[in-house]
A and B are shown apart, each in its own frame.
Chain A
Amino acid sequence: MKPFKTLDAVACPLPQSNVDTDQLIPARFMKRSRADGYGGFLLYDLRFDETGAQKADCPLNDTIRQGAQILVSRRNFGSGSSREAAVYALVDYGITCVIAPSYGDIFASNSVNNGLLPAVVSEEDCEALLAGLQDGAETATVDLEALTIRCANLVVPFTVDPVWRTKLLNGWDDIDLTRSHAEAIAAFAASDRERRPWMQPNRPATASSGT
């Protein structure tokens, strides 16, 4: 994964609360292979009308927001379904940082696994950033080492879980790290079998007959 250190890019305001993952990518688009790219489906029903034409009132369709890599939104961003496709849609569209006061836990975790920074700001700073962008600011600078966001004439701090910060700064993937613990995992499994013999599923002769 590509390390994330600083990002200086076009930022787009999305002044809504509870932008859930069903909105980030509607379920009907999730049958595609990732290789086809998910960016075209990002916030599809917000960006396009029934005929497939762009909606004028969607900030992402604004000329000055083209090529946006930063999205600023309100509380509980990415709530709902665990679909990682919501993150694929953001990343494939080009967004690598979302700024909001709070996130759905699963979404935030999925983001970090795809190199997307879920930056947490206070409600107050979020409103200030949204206002700055709506007043015409086009870009923002996100510094993951300094934990600051510069936008318009503002400098606001943000937080991110320290473990996630390290992972993003280094572009680490968990699997290789976990495999270095293979012996500990095997030892745990062996002792656990003694401790909790009932954990192992019973294998019914005729499965799924119910009771």
Chain B
Amino acid sequence: MGMTAVAYLISGMLVWGGIGWLVDHWVGTRGIFAGIGAVLGMAGGVYLIVRRLGA
């Protein structure tokens, strides 16, 4: 279902981007971890879509 796929993508980015953002605050960097987190989360979301919704 399309809605589930979009939910996975967005939550992947939000969760890991958010965690990265917290790490940024913790370490004192200015957004590098948020960026890495968003990309990682996106990758995780794509992986989940393939596993859960794909063949």
Do A and B belong to a common assembly?
no
